Chain A
Amino acid sequence: MRPASTPTQRPPDARLLVVSADGTLLHAARRRLADFLCPGDLLVANDAATIPASLGGIHRPSGESLEIRLVGRRSLAFDDVRDFTAIAFGAGDHRTRTEDRPPPPALRSGDWLDLGPLRARVVRLLGHPRLIQLRFAGTPDVIWDGIARHGKPIQYAHVEEPLALWDVWTRVAAIPAAFEPPSAGFVLDWALLAELSARGVGFATLTHAAGISSTGDPELDAGLPLDEPYDLPEATVRAIARARKGGGRIVALGTSVSRALEHAAAQAGGLAPGPGLATQRIDANTDLRVVDAIVTGVHQCGESHYELMRAFASDVLLEYLSAELELNDYRLHEFGDSVLLVRQTPEVRATLTRVGATPETFCRPTTPTPPPRTTGGRNHRGRVFPGDIPLDGCRCRAGRTDAPTVAASVAGISRPSAAAPTGSRPGAKVRQGQPIGKLGNPGNTTGPHVHYQLQAGPDWEASDPLPYKFSNISAFPLLRGTFFEAK
């Protein structure tokens, strides 16, 4: 995987890895997102506009330069704009990796900061020399004006070009509330909204103060996400009720939408309109109440966003997903590619559980092991278990068959002897391109994969392996329905 370094919200080649409820994976063009949503589904986006929350300035007591990044606020009310949680950096800008930024001058409670036209006081340190409670001087109008004029979008070293607000506001950006863009929403444009509508897919929004993704400090990063205020409109609560009643899925466009909806749904009385403060973390232990699927960026193990995905899918599947993203060179970060992850059914989760696994087993950098490209050797007639990949319909809820063909059904065979697919038998002679059978899901499979083996004798454990090569290995061959030939 590589960082997306150009601030283009909808690059024409943006990709979407779709994971359906049965663990099926499919690569798609992200602009085709609507194809993977079914009539009756509801897509919920975060309409927070991004505040230009990076404020350069001077620490008055020392005269030294610093950068203040606003990262938290109690509520979304217009006049609640004096008090912010903020992170301070020493001199420099986004071109230096946050990890390498010098610390700010020593900050003490009561210190004044001159931030362009704004004046702010350090109210107190929040248990870390870089994390502070900040209070601006002036009326709300004056403070907003100063932020609007002086602030710049928070950005990181992987995008060198300075960002403007139009780079980070989504097409539905409404109320300045986010400290970093709710970037899953970059996929949206008005043509997609029209397409969703034509398809019978609902669209709704909430406002959630999406916080920062990284501070460059492991101790501070461990505390992310901070508490985030949100506001849930009545129309959205109504739309969710309507969609669920009709059997549609609630698809969260981004982690912030998931956090807001799940927080609201966990309150006494259930999902209700109005303001809230999301304080919870979503992780493997979270029992999702509202969100059936999430569209999110490409996240790496260890990030809080990756933790959130564990509420949707088993670790085995996420590990597989990570390998698939890695192998296909998906782009990371806010302007990168996307994943549509449908919450795994309990049956799939039960199947995709590795015995004896611990979170540590999976929470490590993925080192994908693509199939060997080629090994030389002699011709051979062998026992092979490739399979063709049937394309079948969208995994809609029962009763829906009107969606187009989108999902490849892929399942694994745990071992060659477990269940030879229909049409193949041990020792059969096969030719290149010959479908041997449809892959089923027998045995205690751990994910959408298949094992295959070419060997010199009938005893699959005792025989020597034989060389082979694939005719197409641009991706996992079995996911793409490609064939291999044995030489």
Chain B
Amino acid sequence: MRQHPDILTGLRVAVTGGTSGLGLALVEALHARGAAVAFVARHGDLVDAVARAHPGTHGITGDISRKTETYSIALRITAALGGLDVLINNASSLGPVPLALLADTECEELELAFATNLVGPFRLTKALLGALGGAGREHPPALVINVISDAAITPYPGWGAYGASKAALLHLSRIWDAELEPHSIRVHALDPGDMDTPLHALAVPDADPATLKRPAESAREIIEVIEATIHRTTQPDATRKHAHATPA
């Protein structure tokens, strides 16, 4: 049987929140599989460290919750990758830390959770929709993955800001998927499960890590979804042409 090249080779993927937890695991796994990866995170020193550890990846320092940074982040992503096939909106905010009952949640804390978990992904996706649309025409489909949580569905007390913002992200994903499907852009919301990540440690400081999923395992599952989505609609003989630039 003929050996097929890895379908991820050269796939242009951007990951937000790429320096810790699930985001870092995604950057590592995608990079290992030969994808062209750009990642975004807030802290420049961490960004540089991750980029150095994964030569060829493009680290972008920026805060997706800030409107004024959206386009500069989008520009850096598409400049670095020469386009975009997959956007993973992974960066998340827990809202109040420690977790608080909704009635004890300050308005500003709720707004910050929505800025990071809903409005940020909306803005960045919108700014990158031209690139994703181009990828959808060239080798369909392009894909947006919005990382959500079971808190988007189950009303866990104490998870109000986080859960409500993720529920909104879930619904936004469904509507956008329906609207963009004719343009060969799919929008999926995925729940990676309870993982042993810094975010989870902030939420549940006394959780036993042994009971939690490894981020790498969730990353693998997400990558399986990417592969399945691309496989489903890719012609068997289609050759994918991706990033045209050589990594610096």
Contact = CB atoms under 8 A, between A and B. Distances in A.
Contact of A234 (B58, B129, B138, B182): B138
Nearest to B131: A174
B130 A176 contact: no
A166 interface: yes
A176 B248 contact: no
Nearest to B58: A141
Interface stretch (B77-85, B96-104, B148-156, B229-237): B77-85
A171 B75 contact: no
Interface string B45-70: 00000010000001111000000001
Contact of B72 (A79, A148, A190): A148
B133 A144 contact: no
A235 B142 CA distance: 14
Nearest to A191: B179
A164 B78 contact: no
Residue among B59, B61, B130, B241 with max Cβ neighbours from chain A (10 Å): B130
Interface residues of B, number: 37
A204 B74 CA distance: 21
B78 A175 contact: yes
A145 B83 CA distance: 17
Contacts of B174: none
Contacts of B82: 76-78, 175
A197 B179 CA distance: 13
Nearest to B72: A148
B43 interface: no
B71 A174 contact: no
Contacts of A193: 183
A201 B139 CA distance: 20
Nearest to A142: B248
B127 interface: yes
B73 to A, nearest CB: 8
Interface residues of A, number: 42
A236 B73 CA distance: 27
Given A144-B76, A234-B138, A78 B245 contact: yes
B130 A144 contact: no
A332 B203 CA distance: 56
Interface string B220-246: 000000000000000000000101111
B134 interface: yes
A78 B71 contact: no
Interface in A371-396: none
A348 interface: no
A204 B75 CA distance: 21
Given A139-B248, A165-B71, A194-B182, A78 B80 contact: yes
A233 B137 contact: yes
A145 B60 contact: yes
7 tightest Cβ-Cβ pairs between the two chains A and B: A78-B245, A165-B71, A174-B131, A148-B72, A172-B130, A174-B130, A173-B130
16 contacts: A47-B134, A51-B75, A52-B75, A76-B82, A78-B79, A78-B81, A81-B79, A144-B76, A144-B79, A148-B73, A165-B72, A171-B129, A171-B130, A173-B131, A174-B84, A175-B134
